[in-house]
Structure 1
Amino acid sequence: MTSELSRRGVLRRTALVAAGVALGSPLLSAPAAAATDPDKLRAAVRAAQERNKRQLTGVSSTNGWEMERNPGARGHIYTRPVPGTPVRGVQVRMGDVETILVHAVRRFHYEIDELRPDDLTGWRSPSTVRKGLPESNLASGTAVQIRPGHYPSGTKGGYFPNQLTTIESILTDCDGVLAWGGHDKHSDESLFYLAAGPDDPRVTVTAQKLRTWNWNSPL
């Protein structure tokens, strides 16, 4: 376990790596010429609609975010870094969701147990998740699983009391926007997921608070 001071310092020093996501929206990627040429604009709209058909499912995960068929492909889910950890990257929904989930993963790494490169799972195909359970949020890019092999779905008791205290602290950081699968009726102690929907303003407010913490923390 590391101290609060050292944890905040690492988060601040690594925050710049993740900050670039705000400018990465695929909605802004159409050529500027399409805005002035009606034919090009119609073609761009058709192309976007075709991409959506290939990428989007029209089905929401249990928290209300739309599940996607593939990461990347000009959707909302991409492989994102987890700064300050050996994790190679995690496929999550970019922007505010990413900020919240990565915050939870980094606190886990520094305060519960150090992660190895393959300890983290993000997006999973909609065909591989149970639609009626919070694990479906993986398919919308709004959840991660930390060491799912260590904390199998349906079991409890995988953490020591001091580790559970840290998990509660992580949830407190996120003001009710983040949930832990260990609290669910069907327990999944590896699962952390967004408990707020895409129209809930708390998502943006919480993500901005976490970014501010990272920048303003003492070294």
Structure 2
Amino acid sequence: MDTSRRIFLQSMAGLAVMSGVSAIIVQPAIAESAGPDPVHFTEDTLAQAQRAVAEITPGSKSPNGWSINTAANSGGSVWTRPVPGTAFGVDVALADAEVILIHVIRRFHYEIDTLRPGEVIGFKNPDTVKGYELNHASGTAIDIRPDQYPPGVHGGFYQHELAVVRDILAECKDIVKWGGDFTVPDEAHFEIAVPPTDSRLREFADQVRGWNSTPGVGAGVIQVV
């Protein structure tokens, strides 16, 4: 755990609050090391991948309304995508879901604790999951440190960490749901909460894309007023 960076961010935030002044702490921009080499998608190959989903799992939908895949990186809609600023990628649905889920991961990475390879799980084989976890099979859910935040256990986050989680959810405007709010909590779990036809999905994904291309905004920027 990168304790020095975490302590620095927390102490700077605390000083800003106590002094009553605004502070902005900027982490490296999205152009920094993006981890594993990404698969390059043109508009044509993206469209082909989206059409291929029907051939992989005809008619099968996850609980949130997305097409289920049987495997990642196999011609469907779920591929390993890099998480900028980290040394790893995650298996998620291409396009808007990818943009939003990676935004959640990056905020956790910068504002709660440094994430390392193997600590974020995306796609899961549909034969191994059921219930809300089937959203993993469509590439529209992630688990962040599932070993540290196991299902059924409540209170895994410190108050300042929980505040960041709540801020992420508020920023995502009900497009992302957190497992910590489930009747049986699963605090590692984050999922897209709307179907692909929901117009809010594209609107928020485009907003995140704008942040990613603008220095000083988006994931990695902590603002305390």
- Give the TM-score taking structure 1 as reference length: 0.79
SS of equivalent residue, structure 1 residue 92: strand
Q: Percent identity?
A: 37
Please list, as runs of the form range in 1=range in 2, the aligned pairs for 1:56-205 lying within 5 A after superposition.
56-86=57-87, 88-130=88-130, 132=131, 134-205=132-203
SS of equivalent residue, structure 1 residue 79: strand
Aligned partners of 1:71 and 1:123 also within 8 Å: yes
Equivalence for 1:6 = 26
Question: Could you tell me how far apart the structure 1 residues matched to 2:207 and 2:168 are?
Answer: 13
SS of equivalent residue, structure 2 residue 26: helix
Q: What's the CA shift for 1:119?
A: 0.5
SS of equivalent residue, structure 1 residue 63: coil
CA-atom RMSD in angstroms: 2.6
Count of residue pairs brought into register by the alignment: 194
Question: Could you tell me how far apart the structure 2 residues matched to 1:125 and 1:202 are?
Answer: 28
Please list, as runs of the form range in 1=range in 2, the aligned pairs for 1:30-45 lying within 5 A after superposition.
none
SS of equivalent residue, structure 1 residue 216: coil
More helix by share: 1
Please list, as runs of the form range in 1=range in 2, the aligned pairs for 1:19-38 lying within 5 A after superposition.
23=43, 25-28=45-48
1:43-73 Cα offsets, whole Å, 9 max, x none, are: xxxxx88x844x2152221111121111122
1:100-156 Cα offsets, whole Å, 9 max, x none, are: 0000001101110111111010000001111x2x22110110011011111111111
Which runs of no fewer than 5 residues in structure 1 stay unpaired? 30-47
Change (3 A) 1:25 1:5: farther
Question: Could you tell me how far apart the structure 2 residues matched to 1:216 and 1:58 are?
Answer: 39
- Give the TM-score taking structure 2 as reference length: 0.77
Question: Could you tell me how far apart the structure 2 residues matched to 1:159 and 1:185 are?
Answer: 17
Question: Could you tell me how far apart the structure 2 residues matched to 1:155 and 1:184 are?
Answer: 11
Change (3 A) 1:190 1:203: same
Aligned partners of 2:31 and 2:84 also within 8 Å: no
Change (3 A) 1:68 1:10: same
Q: What's the CA shift for 1:85?
A: 1.1
Question: Could you tell me how far apart the structure 1 residues matched to 2:168 and 2:137 are?
Answer: 23
Q: What's the CA shift for 1:25?
A: 3.8
Runs of 4 or more consecutive aligned structure 1 residues displaced over 6 Å after TM superposition: none
Change (3 A) 1:14 1:213: farther
Question: Could you tell me how far apart the structure 1 residues matched to 2:63 and 2:98 are?
Answer: 18
